[in-house]
Amino acid sequence: MLTPMSTDETAAIPSLDPKRAPVILAGTVLAGSVMDALDMPEVVISERDTLDGAAGYLLALP
């Protein structure tokens, strides 16, 4: 979906930070390649930082 889009068109996507429009496509290609290399069928993307993810993981431990 992002490949044929201009930076301005990417910046207009409501759920994306317009400041990141120039790098969104590269980031998705990189993330997809890492997922393929690690045989990961899905990932969870968060708007929060890594620390929030680590805390959530630790709180979920038995």
Within a domain: residue 15? yes
Helix (H, G, I), strand (E, B) or coil at 57: helix
pLDDT of 51: 86
pLDDT of 5: 94
Whole-model pTM? 0.63
What is the tally of structural domains in the chain? 1
Tokens of 28: 């998705």
Summarised one tens digit per residue, pLDDT across range 16-56 is: 899 999 999 999 999 999 999 999 999 877 667 778 878 88
DSSP state of 16: S
Within a domain: residue 1? no
The number of angstroms, rounded, from the C-alpha of 29 to the middle of its chain's C-alpha atoms is 10
Range of the domain at 53: 7-60
Within a domain: residue 2? no
Within a domain: residue 11? yes
Asked if pLDDT for residue 9 goes beyond 90, the answer is yes
